[in-house]
Amino acid sequence: MEQMTIYGYEKLTNELKNLKLVERPEVIKELDIARSHGDLKENAEYQAARERQRFIDGRIAELGKLINEAEVIDPSSYEHNIVKFGSTVSYEDLDTGKSATYTIVGAIESDLDKGLISANTPLAKQLMGRKIGDQIELNLPKGQVEIEITNICYKAIKF
């Protein structure tokens, strides 16, 4: 089972709905138009539409499986006095004074540009179970960094 937040679940279900109700019907129309042009072996338009249909059908199957097997967690329903799945955690690098903030989410919904990191990452694993004021030494790809956790809270994720 793949853990995910309500945000991740809604994102996947919206994508699935769009693929089934918009994208797939469009590609079916494209296939019909391309078929009307004749010889299918030499028809690049038809081949492209078939390839797009295969991709869409594959993604529909993949999303359906992810959604059916999802363990949806509502992080707003519990306290965030320690770092847990769904927590937004801020910390300060004790050497440089730089701060960082991340929200710990499921692997499928992680997006580093939005500050969403997978609970499976080494960083998230090192932060889990910590509380405000904890000073810890993180083992990161760039080396060891000493940090202090400055805030833990829940922030709703928007998409």
pLDDT at 34: 81
pLDDT at 125: 97
Boundary of a domain, candidates 72, 94, 121? 72
Asked if 50 and 79 touch (Cβ cutoff 8 Å), the reply is no
pLDDT at 17: 98
Name the domain count of the chain.
2
Q: Is residue 136 part of a domain?
A: yes
Q: Is residue 77 part of a domain?
A: no
List of the chain residues with pLDDT < 70: 39-41, 159
| 57 and 86 housed in the same domain | no
Boundary of a domain, candidates 37, 54, 72? 72
Q: How far apart are CA 101 and CA 130, in angstroms?
A: 14
Domain residues for the domain of 65 are 2-72
pLDDT at 40: 65
Task: Tell me how far apart the 2 most distant CA atoms of the chain are, in Å.
Answer: 71
pTM to 2 decimals?
A: 0.81
Asked if 85 and 104 touch (Cβ cutoff 8 Å), the reply is yes
pLDDT at 53: 96
Q: Is residue 129 part of a domain?
A: yes
Boundary of a domain, candidates 72, 97, 114? 72
Tell me the CATH number at 6. Answer: 1.10.287.180
| 44 and 89 housed in the same domain | no
